[in-house]
Structure formats: structure tokens, C-alpha cells
Amino acid sequence: MKVLFSFLAVILLILVATMGAFITNLHYVFGIIIPYLAFAMFVGGFIYRVVKWGRSPVPFRIPTTIGQQKSLPWIKQNKIENPTSALGVIVRMAMEVLFFRSLFRNTKTELREGQNGPELSYGSAKWLWLGSLFFHWSFLIIIIRHLRFFLEPIPFAVQILESVDGMLQIGLPAIYLTDVFILVAVTYLFLRRIIVPQVKYISLPADFFPLFMLMSIAISGILMRYFYKVDLVAVKQLAIGLATFQPVLPTGIGPMFFIHIFLVSILFAYFPMSKLMHMGGIFMSPTRNMISNNRMVRHINPWNPEVEVHTYAQYEDEFREKMKKAGIPVEKE
Amino acid sequence: MAPKVKLPKPEELAKIEFKTPATDWMDTPVEFKPGTFCWGSKEKDLLTLGLPNPRQWSPADEDWKVPEGWETTILEGMAERLSKYRSFKIFMDICVRCGACADKCHFYIATGDPKNMPVLRAELIRSVYKKYFTKSGKFLGRLAGARELDMDVLKEWWSYFFQCTECRRCSVFCPYGIDQAEVTIIGRELLNLVGLNIDWISGPVANCYMKGNHLGLEPHAIAGNIESMVDDIEDITGIRVNPTFNRKGAEILFVTPSGDLLGEPGIQTCMGYLMLFHELGLDYTWSTYASEGGNFGFFTSNDMAKRLNYKIYAEAKRLGVKYIIGGECGHMWRVLNQYMDTWHGPADFLEVPVSPITGTVFENAKSTKMIHISEFTADLIKHNKLNLDPTRNDHLKVTFHDSCNPSRGMGLLDEPREIIKAVCNNFYEMPENTIREKTFCCGAGSGLNASENMEQRMRGGFPRANAVKYVQEKHGVNMLANICAVDRAHFPALMDYWNPGVGVTGVTELLANALVMKGEKERTTNLRFEDLPGKGGNE
């Protein structure tokens, strides 16, 4: 049901895109107005969300410590997973953001009947890590590759990336590795959501929708590159027009392009109001981005509240006689 | 009170069904099965603390007697906390439901109940957040994973936020560091706004507020309990140690959980402190006012935790000590490490802790001026300041349980191990994925160590117990060492249930048994009055 809903939503979007692609009068809307709107919603929404997070303070320093603390000089501190310096935090965050360090720890718990009763075991489980890593890196490389449409001359770094990505040199135009990886990875991420019962149980339409969107974007891109070819010179003209805020609409681009760019636009517009904001959130997560020096440097809570306390004087007033009897010193005789 | 429920046999409890229910989780009502939940907070305790909605109530009743307009109270409470805690806001927004946390929770592993997966436990509150605080939830409702707040939802919160021990294990595996402990803490704060706590938390909190400790020991009782430990120490070692109480001008204030003052094996750990400090000639004092290291306020609300924590610095200041040493306790150290200084600092009336024996300066505590007994002791051992005879522990095959909070809210991992290795000849680690930062909760942390929820405690402790069983079978381990008073209170029952034959001890008890004190008589028993290996008559 949840899967179906998201699937139908994406199908509907594809139909809308197809309509836009085949009605030439709508090309200006689909090729220029919607991408601008989407881009504005993405940037505006992203900033709005991050600012909203940032407006809430971090009252306590609560890093999750995942290794030995700094204490006695001869005890080896884990300087990355229990960092007491800014550098340690930077490395820790880089490991999370670039290599998904925490996901790499993943294990799979299994309960089996052993000789002497039940046995729990925790096997290695790296597939989710691998799938996510392939997906995110491929996505990033594909986005960088797309800079070729927005920049003239094409930066050398982008050209290098392209040639590495296409190094297999199969077919013409050459197949990009990342195109294959992203499709495989997204398919894997989708399949585990419908096959693993626990993951299926927790999944919401909002978990399937982005996966279907990504799939259709990747597929429309691949179709455009290999099967329903579009006029690349015209596409670049349009892209540079958009980037320089002097939009032009060349004729004869080819319908697949409009489908592709519409789906991309929807994803961008949807991004800030969805879980995809984990891209921004990961940088701001207090359990990972804080220095674990709680006992060395005092952390300030901007709203540190006044609270009612039970003072020693009140305590002694209640127990003075009992304290004196037990030989415990008191303030007031 | 309902009649006592029978605890199922271990074989029955270990039959865990991991099948997901046929109905969606939003349509699966919460069940209150006797033996799996704690009693509700008592009227008198909430009155003592001035907390909202004091009344007698029972979770087993249909009517929980929450005040008129409670929905508004909760939603306003959420809004307030969203504006006060970036953690809460981000954790509500960015979860992608990847499921990496799912099978990391001891309660999920041992119940198979999907709402015990940290992701879904958070979703219980996230769904309400979406409905009232996000546009997509407002317009798309259930399609966006949003739902209305009603009484069933509130009961579900109460059930599952008191099935989370705030152990942070899920947070280690989450790619964004989403910490279910943080969500549970806020969830419990919200529940407390309408008077929904559990008795095993609000009772100790009220005790601690008025009398200084969770057990409610009055000053003369504390002195009396310690006096009888002093007598026992004299019987065993021939040495009369001489603790002082509320003494002004002492160099060090010692604060430990009150669980160490009553009942075995807590008292043996406490005897260990007394012997160690006496042997060193340490200039220290106990306090009957700041007589609690732990902080069940932390399981109620951050404000309540702050109200209880106040006593420690206040007493250190009144007595004029130089610094503070804290005893073996779990959540106590999360609070002391990550909260105390922020609440009640700066502790500029204290000095940076320096061991009077070794001269080591504890730079790692230069702001809070409070060090852990294991840090203090490991330093002594490294400098060869203690005369130790580990053969006295030769009858023991020891393993060590990392308590959740010192491991994931502090990182105190190697200090206790250094001590154990110096005082025991037989030490074996449990499997890698169950120790150190990946340690499993004992199953009774965060105030869930009651007796009416015994079945749930035995479930929650199953992953920990199963790892102990592994070393019990492989190496013949017969002693589970730890540095936590809740562990010492809960593990004996857990071990009897899952792994009969495994005892429970504090690390300082092991140390005190091996400690050769100056002028002591030939010891024939350990601190439990059990014959020492090779010394007793019935070997």
C-alpha cells in the first residue's frame, strides 16, 4: 500500500513530465520556469531548515563516546571516536560524512538454538553500508559530471572525472560506471525495504517516494544518453542560460530531456521538506559533532534554568537531632 | 497492587518471535501485560517534589486520571523542547529509517516487539511531531507518517519510553548519531508534565530530594550502615578503619551511589572503598547530605536531575574540600561527565584534582574537579602504590561488564580493566560486539530495576546474560565484575535466572580482597566471609 502509493505518485509525475515534453508550448514552463522554481525552493528550503535547527541551542554537550576517553597519560585515548580536540571532531565527522563510519559498524543479530540453550550472535553486516556508499558517491559524481552542461570551458577536473567514470569504454557513448552503480544501489535500497520484514514494517511512503524518484531520474538520464538522444548542444545552451540568468529556449532538444529535468526539479523542490535533509542534519548532530571534553571545559547552556533545590540548611533542620546523636557534625547546635 | 505474577522459565522467555504484526504499527494497540511494566508514580512523591498531577493511579486501569486539556500541555511541551534542544529537533527531522539501529537494542532483541526497535520507538513521538509541527504531516497525515495525539498514543509512549534504558547503544550504529536516549529523555519529560512517571523512579527521586539519597537513608542510618561495614572489615583484616562524615576541611569529598550502602554485593564494594582509602591514609569525608552519586532525576526530567545534582557541588563548597572522588556507578557518571558542570559550574571553589599519593594531576577533570574511583585507583596501581596479592582472587574467573553510561557517555573503558588485571589472575573478555562501546545494557538501567517488571528485566538483560554465558561455558567464568550500583542490584537476579553459578562484584571489592593492608592479620576469608583459596578449612 505504502509502496504502491509512492509508486503511483511517481508515475503521475512522469505522466505530467511527458505531457510537458510533448506539448511544445509548455517547454518554457518545463525547461525554465519549473527548474528555477525548484532551485529556489531547494536553496531557500535548505537554508530555512538549517537556520531553524541552528536557532535551537545545544544546551548540553552530549557526544556519543565510541572509544576510550582521555584520562591517564598511559591509557591510549581514542582521539577520533572520543575526541578532545577540534581536529579529532573534524576527522570524526569526515569519516561519517565521507565513509559512513557508523554504518560500517553494522552487525546482524541472530538467535539460534545452541547445545546449551539459546545463543545470540552478532555477525558482520556490511551490505547496507556498501549500498549506501555506492549510492551516495555515485550520485555525487553524477552531479559533478553534470557541471559540463553549465560551464564553458569544461573544467579539467570534470573532464578527468568523466574519463575515469567512463573508463570501461563499453559502447558509444561510453557507459558510465556511476550510472550502473546508482541503479544497482537504489534497487538494493528499495529491495531491502520490501524484503526485510523489519525494514518493511518501519518504512513509510516518504521512504519509497525518493527511491522511486531517484530511479526514474537515473533511468530517464540513461535513456536520454543512449536511446532517445537529445541535442546536447541545445541542452548546454539551455543550461548555461539558466546558470547565467539569461534563459534561452533552443528548439529541438528532444522530449526525454524535459522528462528528466522535470523529475530532477521535483526532487530538488521536495528535498528540504523531507528526510533527505539528513544531508544537512548529519553535520549538526550533537552526538557526533561535539568535542568530548566535558570535564575539561565547561559547556554553557544559554537557558540554564533556575530550579528549586533542597538546601543543606533545610536538611540539617530536619535531621539535626538525629545527626547529633550519631556524632555527625552540624552547623547549628 | 496486582497479585505477583509468575516469571516464565528461561526456555520460554528465550522463544522470541521476530515476526512483525499483521497490522501496521499505528493500528497495533499497546498491551499492558503484568510482569512487563512498572507501577505508576505515587501521589505523595509527586507532592514532595511539586510535580504536576499528583494522584493515585495504576497503568493497569483504563483511566489514567490525566488532567483535562493534557493534549495542549504535551504539545506545548514539545514546542518548548523543540526550541530548547537542537538534538531533539534534528533527531525528529532526519531519520531515514534505514533500520541499522533495529537489532542493536536489547529490548528489541529480547522481545521481538517492533516498537522496541529504536527507530520505531522514536517514530512513536516523531509521528506526533509531524502531525502538529510539520506542513507535510498536517496535509498528508498518515501518508507522511503523521498521527493525532490521543490517549492511546500517550499510553504507548509511557509503555515504550519506560522500556528504553537510555543506554545509547543504538546511537553508536546510527549513521547520523541519532540518540534514542535523548528522545526517551524528552519523551519522559513530556509524560511527567501530565503526571506519568513510574514509582521506581519518582519514589527514589523524592527520597533523594529530601534525604539526600535514593534509598531514603537518614544521616544516622548512613553512619550506622557504614559502622557495621567497619566492624566487618575489622573482623576480616584486624584493622579498624575510621571514616568520617560531613567533616569540614577534608581534602576530598567522596560520593557514591546509595546502593553501595545497603545490600550485597553493593556493601562489599563500599567496604572496598573504606579499606582502600584507609590504606592510603586519604584525607577524605563522606557526606550524609550529598549521599547519592546516582541521579534518578535524570530519568524524570533535566530540571529534576539538576535539582538533585545540586547537592554535590553545594556540599563540596560547604565542607571546603579541594576536589571530589566519585564511586562506581553508571548513569551517575553520564550526569557528572556531561551535565553537572553545565548546570552548577563553574566549580571555581575547588582545585584541579591531584592524587596525594602519586602526584598525578587529573587534567581530564580540570573543570569539573571530580574524578572516577577507577581513574584514581588505576593511577595508584600504575605507580605501584598498592601491595596486591591477586592470588586471593584465584578462585575467581572474572569477566567485566561495561556499564552503558561510563562507556557511551564518557569512555571509561580501560581504567577498570587495568585494575582487574592487577588484582585477578583470571580475566576473560566477553565477545567483541558485546563489550566496551558496544556493551549491552544490564536490562534494568534508567530506573527500570523494579520487581513488578521482573519478566521485562530478565528479557532486557538477555543479550548481556547470553554473552556472559558464552565465557561461562568457554572459560568457566564465575564472576561478573562491574562499576555500577544498578548492575550490582540487578545482575544477581539476572545471573540466577539465565546463568546460575555466576556471581556479581564491584571492581573495588575485587581490589580490596587482593589489597594487602599494612598491619593486617592473615586473612582467611574474603569480604563476603567466604574462605579464601588455600586458607580455609574446607578446601
| Chain B nearest C-alpha distance from A198 (Å) | 7
Q: What is the pLDDT of residue A107?
A: 95
Is B5 part of a structural domain of the chain? no
Q: Which of residues 19-48 of B touch A (CB under 8 A)?
A: 19-20, 25
B218 lies in the same domain as B168 = no
How many domains is chain B partitioned into structurally?
2
pLDDT at B1: 47
Q: Which of B288, B292, B267, B265 is nearest to B204 (CA)?
A: B292
| In a domain? residue B534 | no
Q: What is the mean pLDDT of chain B?
A: 96
Q: Are residues B211 and B188 in the same domain?
A: no
Q: What is the mean pLDDT of residues B480-484?
A: 97
Q: Are residues B112 and B178 in the same domain?
A: yes
Q: Do B411 and A300 touch (CB under 8 A)?
A: no
Looking at the structure, tell me whether residues B284 and B190 fall in a common domain.
no
pLDDT score of B4: 67
Separation of alpha carbons A294 and A272, rounded Å: 33
pLDDT tens-digit map of B457-479: 999 999 999 999 999 999 999 99
Chain A / chain B CB contacts < 8 angstroms: 316
Domain match, B186 and B109 both? yes
Per CATH, is A2-303 categorized as 3.30.450.40?
Answer: no
Q: What are the boundaries of each domain within chain A? A: 2-303
Q: What are B385-427's pLDDT values in tens digits?
A: 999 999 999 999 999 999 999 999 999 999 999 999 999 999 9
Task: For chain B, positions 422-481, list CB contacts with chain A under 8 A.
Answer: 431, 433-434, 436-438, 462-463, 466-467, 469-470, 473
Residues B225 and B290 occupy one common structural domain: yes
Cβ distance A278 to B135 less than 8 Å, yes or no, reads: no
B165 and B251 both lie in a single domain: no
Q: Is the pLDDT of residue B341 over 80?
A: yes
Indicate if B284 and B180 belong to the same structural domain: no
**Does the residue B524 lie in any domain?**
no
Closest CA to B288 of B215, B207, B203, B223: B223
Q: What is the per-residue pLDDT for A73? A: 96
What pLDDT, in 10s, does the model give residues B164-199?
A: 999 999 999 999 999 999 999 999 999 999 999 999
Same domain? B130 vs B248: no
Which burial class, exposed, middle or buried, applies to A321 when counting CB atoms under 10 A from its CB (0-12, 13-18, 19+)?
exposed
pLDDT band (50, 70, 90) for residue B539:
very low
Q: Which parts of chain A sit beneath pLDDT 70?
A: none
- Domain of B279? 205-514
Across residues B12-34, what is the average pLDDT? 93
Q: Average pLDDT for residues B315-323, to the nearest whole number? A: 98
| Residue numbers in A near B143 (CB within 8 A) | 5, 204-206
Q: Closest Cα of chain A to B65: distance in Å?
A: 26
pLDDT for the residue numbered A2: 86
Among A149, A176, A173, residue whose Cα is nearest residue A162:
A176
pLDDT of residue B324: 98
Contact between A323 and B219 using a beta-carbon 8 Å cutoff: yes
Mean pLDDT, residues B126-146 taken together = 94
| Exposure letters B459-469 (e unless 16+ CB within 10 A, then b) | bbbbbbbbbbb
Q: Is residue B3 part of a domain?
A: no
Boundary (domain end) residue, out of B147, B167, B196: B196
> Residues B382, B325: one domain?
yes
CA distances from B348 to B248, B251, B254, B368, B369 (A): 18, 15, 18, 9, 9
Query: Is B535 inside any structural domain?
Result: no
Which pLDDT belongs to residue A138?
97
Residue B525 lies in a domain: no
Top residue of A310, A317, A332 to mutate, by most chain B CBs within 10 Å, is A310
Mind listing the pLDDT tens digit for each residue in B61-72?
999 999 999 999
What is the DSSP code string of A264-279? HHHHHHHGGGSGGGHH
Residue pair B362/B375 in contact by the 8 Å Cβ criterion: yes
Give the closest of B176, B367, B470 to A298, CB-based: B367
The complex scores an ipTM of 0.95
Is any Cβ of chain A less than 8 angstroms from the Cβ of B408?
yes
Is-contact B254 B277, C-beta < 8 A? yes
Instruction: Give pLDDT, residue A152.
Output: 85
In a domain, B366, yes or no: yes
C-alpha A176/C-alpha A171 separation (Å) is: 10
| Contacts with B, A 105-134, CB within 8 Å | 105-109, 111, 116-120, 122, 128, 132
pLDDT bin (cut points 50, 70, 90) of residue B5 is confident
Asked if A119's CB is within 8 angstroms of B175's CB, the reply is no
Model confidence at B538, pLDDT cuts 50, 70, 90, reads: very low
Sign, CA dihedral B121-B124-B127-B129, equals negative
Question: Do B465 and B317 belong to one domain?
Answer: yes
Q: Are residues B332 and B209 in the same domain?
A: yes
Contact list, B220 vs chain A (CB under 8 Å)? 319, 322-323, 325-326, 328
